[in-house]
Amino acid sequence: MAADLAGIATAIATLTQQVNLIAGRLQDLEIQEHVTPAALDQRSADLRALTAQAVGGVERAVQELKVQADRASVGGDKKFNLIDGRNDTPQHFGAEKHDHLHFRGWSKKIVNYLNGRRRGFRQVLEWAKDFGTKEIGITDMNQTEWADRYEGNGALYDFWLKILHGEALLIVEQAPENGLEGFRLLHQKYDPQGAQHDLERYHQLTYGVKGAKTLADLPRVIVQWESELKEFQRKARDFPIPDKIKIAVMLNLLPADYAKDMRKDYHKRPLGYDALRENILEYTRLETGICPP
């Protein structure tokens, strides 16, 4: 690899010298005496053609150098060890009966995990997730700016094979050595776009939310629910969720030990959603010392 890069660098230097030499000859010719205009025009055209050819060679060499550099930056499979069992383990998916109900949260965690292991994964995985119903091919992947697109896609496929189970594993295996396409297929299966899915998700976010078990857990539960709600509203614009519904959900998120008193206080002095949220989090902070994550 080093020899290839050195050869390309040498070629660039040689071509650059040719460009400078051609430019010098063109200048000498233009200042010579007893040169007819026709001869000058012909010689100038020839030299300019050679200049364009040399510049084209430089550009091709630079492009090849960039490709080689992308590949060299990977440095082999050792740098693509996406799982470090000694310190951290990615969350598996598909082994438990109800995993499909929590796919969106799992997907976010996995994207964060992979990007922590190798910068660039978040951007390309978000791109793959939103690619649509069309299959992600090699041409599509090569058009991205993902520096690790050559070895990274295969490493991502191997990663899925290690952490997926059951139906999810079978889905990814439909796209051998194409980890990005596997990720797109997972989202098409477990996080599809459509009216029926949006209706089910709306019901889950408004009526099926589990409350916090303790007051210390409440800030985390609130922030997680709001994050999921924001993502849902970004994708499903036909399902607006007014503040009155959000207030009802917020009160249902309260742990049982505090829910009765807090609801009673709210009904005595109704507040808007933002004010209610602020009051609840402030009360939690004073009681536990915990602030929202």
Residues 218-257: pLDDT tens digits?
999 999 999 888 888 877 767 788 899 999 999 899 998 8
Q: Residues 149, 154, 156, CA angle at the centre, nearest 5°? A: 90
- Name the residue with tokens 């902070």: 285
46 backbone dihedrals φ, ψ, rounded to 5°: -65, -45
pLDDT at 77: 42
pLDDT (tens digit per residue) in 167-196: 999 999 999 999 999 999 999 888 876 566
pTM score of the predicted model: 0.47
Residue spans per domain, the chain: 2-74, 99-190, 195-288
* Other beta carbons less than 10 A from residue 65's beta carbon: 18
**pLDDT at residue 67 is higher than 60:** no
CB-side exposure of 120: number of CA atoms within 13 Å? 15
> What mean pLDDT do residues 133-144 have?
87
Section 271-292 average pLDDT: 87
What's the average model confidence in pLDDT over 158-165?
Answer: 94
At 141, which amino acid appears?
M
**What's phi and psi for 144, nearest 5 deg?**
-80, 170
Phi-psi region of 130 (alpha: psi -120 to 50; beta: other; left: phi over 0): alpha
8 A C-beta contact, residue 280 and residue 218: yes
